[in-house]
Amino acid sequence: MSSAADAGSILAFDFGTTIAQQTSDGHFAAIRTLVNEWKPSRLVVGLPLHADGTPHETSARAQRFARQLEGRFGIPVTLFDERFTTQAARSALLEGRVRVRERRTVRDRIAAQIILQAYLDEAPADAGAS
């Protein structure tokens, strides 16, 4: 049985502070480097939502970011509910006894991993296909 992962590489982004606070040129240059290295068939962007599923203040910004990614790189982008991923990342960092000053720098990367794993767990078999 095939899975979304079988169709090619997939990169995931937590919209959080890492992406939201960088300049457009800065984060797109960093993303271009990742895209050139990994040559993904799909990008997954975390969609911030409130606990009840209603849009968050940054939901529209994440949607815009997803459209920009698709337009710039010509790669399909999936928005994926990122509720509770930051809390899950914080818990993992606490359990791993990561120092307080290092937590913030790795929190969004851990959240992106959680988003990607949840996406892969829920995605239909052909979701990674272009």
In a domain, 127, yes or no: no
Would residue 96 count as lying in a domain?
A: yes
Q: Which domain holds residue 87?
A: 9-122
| Total count of domains within the chain | 1
Distance (Å, whole) CA 63 – CA 87 = 21
| Residue 4, pLDDT score | 46
Model pLDDT for residues 79-97, shown as the tens digit of each residue: 998 887 777 877 887 788 8
The predicted pLDDT at position 64 comes to 93
128 in a domain, yes or no?
no
Residue 74: inside a domain, yes or no?
Answer: yes
Query: Would residue 3 count as lying in a domain?
Result: no
pLDDT, greater one: 28 or 22: 28
Kindly list the distances between the CA atom of residue 5 and the CA atoms of 1, 9, 118, 125, in Å, as whole numbers in the listed order: 11, 7, 12, 8
- On whether residue 15 sits in a domain, the answer given is yes
Asked whether residue 32 is domain-assigned, the answer is yes
pLDDT of residue 29: 86
Confidence band of 111 (pLDDT split at 50, 70, 90): confident
Please give the mean pLDDT across all residues of the chain: 80
User: What radius of gyration do the chain's Cα atoms show?
Assistant: 15
- Backbone φ and ψ of 48, nearest 5°: -70, 125
Task: Note whether residue 1 is domain-resident.
Answer: no
CATH number, domain containing residue 115? 3.30.420.140
Confidence of residue 77 (pLDDT cuts 50, 70, 90): very high
